[in-house]
Chains A and B, each alone.
Chain A
């Protein structure tokens, strides 16, 4: 392995495409086996547990509904860790959109969940009906709003709230199970090209590289950039899941999920692996030291710079990945869902 790759480096880009399929498999397969499949196994497990708690021990589906809130936290953690893998099974039937509609810059979640709680509409609660429902009323971010928004907590009877949480968590668990099943029963084979989806190993590498670059872009531009806004106009209410104070936690979970991917993509290049490890660790240390779970500090000039500094750490990882890892893999960054507005 190591020899193969050091040869590749010395002769440059053109040779990468010529490296043996076996070597490329060695790059891909551990990522699938050690990172992707465990992430979706955990997601399927934790979301099933959440649906179970919702069915058996829901009291009023507010922040103080302890057992539910804890199961919710574990399932959401599992999603954030798995959410970096946005290709293949997560995109079939737009599953990832059903699990996570964020950012919601039109404020649709509040309107949709609020309307359900006010009307106590029971017609949509059956699983097959709910599966067809708007993504603004589904998934983790709708659940977050229902359980943690101070106004939403006062809406609806406890029994309707629990019934709605039951529908939401059942839908989340079904979606997570479907993604997990696709990964274990076939999609992994697509990653051994030539396949219907990928014509060559380079295309698989590009997919994995794009996962890394997109994940870092989400962290920098959305998780940190949105609440930071501008100095004159900070936007703390645009922080992800600020109602449950999970904003910083999500950034950390995402970086922790992206770090082993970066290291795996740099396999055979120990210097680059070290650099990547140091860059991620630096960002993670700064995240740990921040002690501002909702990024509320963006509004205060005295604490804002610390969030800006964290964003810079993520930008530094992106720069390193673009400058050194991309050329080494010989693939372009490609297009991603953030290319639009």
Chain B
């Protein structure tokens, strides 16, 4: 796999040297973009396999050390994956798939035991407290489900988004995160979830009940994450559907890059994930709430946007994937706009970096969300402002590169006026 990436990169580098003297070719920019997507998903896969190894070790020999090692592997796995989120919007193949691996927020009571303060089934979700780990059989929409064995198929086919409710997240990083950390019951005080390692112990040492089934769930969810990432990695290889779709219309392909950057920055990250949390003062509005890893989640999302613009990505082995960039393409048309975008991306990364450094020094993201904590609000809103501001410049790039007409084609109602009746 790695050698394939090097080969692809080498080809794109040759393409560049042949044409760079005259103009930045859109094809070359797209090739480099697809190479970065491939490298990012491949790194996500590599680190997920490491996580699987750590989970296997934990379940073979449950111990505090092995639980800690699995948590460390999960945190490492998030580094490349979060940088891949910029590929989600714009690339339909990613957007249709990503709910399986990164759905959030979740009603974790679906999966395992929760604190009494969590409450039972809610108005929005009758399955919010189902607790599959404790129940080998249960009713779902009037049908009895046999969950005697917790398998990837059960999670993926039956439980995930059960009853059509998005908060029923049975698979992916956040389900695994909940199993490794447990609920964070400290509200807006410092500290993550602290599930005891004995929740995976056997015999009398088992706490929380059903340790075997909990282990089975963790294993199934981790296996599924690996297979889902294998599939997505393949979509960006030489003849993968994600890659080839970009080249059907190279101008639309460039538009896809900017759509991903703008949609992640504005609607998703600045709005849904960051600003809403501040305004609700709600620690459940943390993206990686069980592990208290939200500062990294936001930071690497932002970095992914910058990666796409600069055409550069640092792999988990430290090597650099780089090539013809969107930055060069914009600079060719409007050098001032390119400088503006570079500055704004740096400003955003500085703001997200401040959140990360404060969190790593002990002032965690949930503390920043506390009502009336002006400095926490200022830190988070610094990131929000940067993300909104850079999106304005991405809109300018859409105009400068004359991608306007492409942008009109994204509307569901235009593409498929009868969709509403389906």
Q: Interface residues, chain A, CB within 8 Å of chain B? A: 13, 94, 97-98, 101, 105-108, 110, 132-136, 199, 202-203, 206, 220, 225, 229-230, 232-233, 237, 308, 311-312, 315-316, 318-319, 322-323, 326-327, 330-341
Contacts and interface: CB of A to CB of B under 8 A. Distances in A.
A322 B122 contact: no
A310 B60 CA distance: 58
Contacts, number: 123
B417 A315 contact: yes
A132 B374 CA distance: 10
A319 B395 contact: no
B399 interface: yes
Interface in B17-35: none
A134 B371 contact: yes
A206 B164 contact: no
B280 interface: yes
Contacts of A105: 124, 166
A319 B409 CA distance: 10
B413 A220 contact: yes
Given A134-B280, A134-B281, A199 B396 contact: yes
Contacts of B163: 233
Interface in B384-420: 391, 394-396, 398-399, 403-405, 407-408, 410-411, 413-414, 417, 420
Interface residues of B, number: 46
A98 B164 CA distance: 30
Contact of B394 (A206, A225, A330, A335): A335
B372 interface: yes
A318 B411 contact: yes
A256 to B, nearest CB: 20
Contacts of A233: 163-164
B398 to A, nearest CB: 5
Contacts of A97: 275-276, 279
Interface in B244-275: 262-263, 265-269, 271-273, 275
Given A108-B282, A340-B267, A335 B275 contact: no
A206 B267 contact: no
B240 interface: no
Given A308-B420, A340-B268, A340-B272, A332 B411 contact: no
B398 A315 contact: no
Nearest to A135: B279
Given A206-B395, A323-B408, 13 more contacts: A107-B124, A199-B396, A206-B399, A316-B417, A318-B411, A319-B411, A332-B395, A333-B411, A339-B263, A339-B266, A339-B267, A340-B263, A340-B266
Contacts of B166: 105
A136 B263 CA distance: 25
Contact of B408 (A229, A232, A326): A326
Contacts of A202: 399
Interface string B98-109: 000000010000
B217 interface: no
B408 A335 contact: no
B420 A312 contact: yes
Contact of A332 (B164, B265, B398): B398
B279 A338 contact: no
B282 A136 contact: yes
Contact of A335 (B263, B272, B371): B263
A199 B392 CA distance: 11
Contacts of A338: 267
Contacts of A132: 371-372
14 contacts: A107-B122, A134-B281, A203-B396, A308-B421, A312-B421, A318-B413, A318-B414, A322-B414, A327-B405, A334-B395, A336-B266, A339-B267, A340-B273, A341-B272
